[in-house]
Amino acid sequence: MAAEIHSRPQSSRPVLLSKIEGHQDAVTAALLIPKEDGVITASEDRTIRVWLKRDSGQYWPSIYHTMASPCSAMTYHHDSRRIFVGQDNGAVMEFHVSEDFNKMNFIRTYPAHQNRVSAIIFSLATEWVVSTGHDKCVSWMCTRTGDMLGRHLFPSWASCLHMLLLAIILDRSPC
């Protein structure tokens, strides 16, 4: 009879692989860049940073962009290389990132809310960006035209969005 030896991991606790430092205030969003060794962060210190891992093993910002208002939410769509950043002033800003992740171009501002944006999602299929904020609204805007397509008022503000909500709202023809 053959015996099998199974090794057990020494610890079931998570292990810190890397640490990224540099923001002066709370980081409100940190997103991994698919197929890259990189991270995009947004912070209440009003900065968006794209961090790429260098040969030294450390992450250094390849893009450092300062916003007019603190960043409160963010989403990134890798296939189109678009970043959408929600701010405390209610605006959602759209940017396009270059292929080498060294340049970020401003595309448009969406006046989505009356105050802090709490969540954002983007659908490439319909070219809509959907956001929710502390003004108790869910807003959806067309990224082709920049037009506000609709908004729905809730009894209290929402703290997140989910793709199911997007599927329900977007069950209409694209803009």
7-42 pLDDT, tens per residue? 656 667 888 778 888 888 999 999 999 888 899 999
Q: What are the backbone angles phi and psi of residue 132, rounded to the nearest 5°?
A: -135, 155
Q: Are 171 and 130 in contact (CB under 8 A)?
A: no
Distance CA 108, CA 80 (A): 15
Distance CA 48, CA 86 (A): 11
Sheet order of strands, 117-123 included: 117-123, 128-133, 137-142, 148-153
In-domain check, residue 35: yes
- The confidence score (pLDDT) of residue 1 equals 47
Q: Are 137 and 151 in contact (CB under 8 A)?
A: yes
- The confidence score (pLDDT) of residue 57 equals 85
In-domain check, residue 150: yes
Considering the entire predicted model, what is its pTM? 0.84
Distance CA 150, CA 158 (A): 16
Q: Which domain holds residue 113?
A: 27-169
Give how far Cα 2 sits from Cα of 5, 6, 8, 76, Å. Answer: 10, 13, 19, 51
How many domains does one find in the chain?
1
Distance CA 77, CA 66 (A): 20
Distance CA 149, CA 133 (A): 16
Q: Which residues of the chain have pLDDT under 50?
A: 1, 164, 173
In-domain check, residue 42: yes
- The confidence score (pLDDT) of residue 174 equals 52
In-domain check, residue 15: no
- The confidence score (pLDDT) of residue 170 equals 53
CATH of the domain at 137: 2.130.10.10
Element at 164 (helix H, strand E): helix 163-169
C-alpha 5: how far from chain center: 44
In-domain check, residue 129: yes
In-domain check, residue 2: no
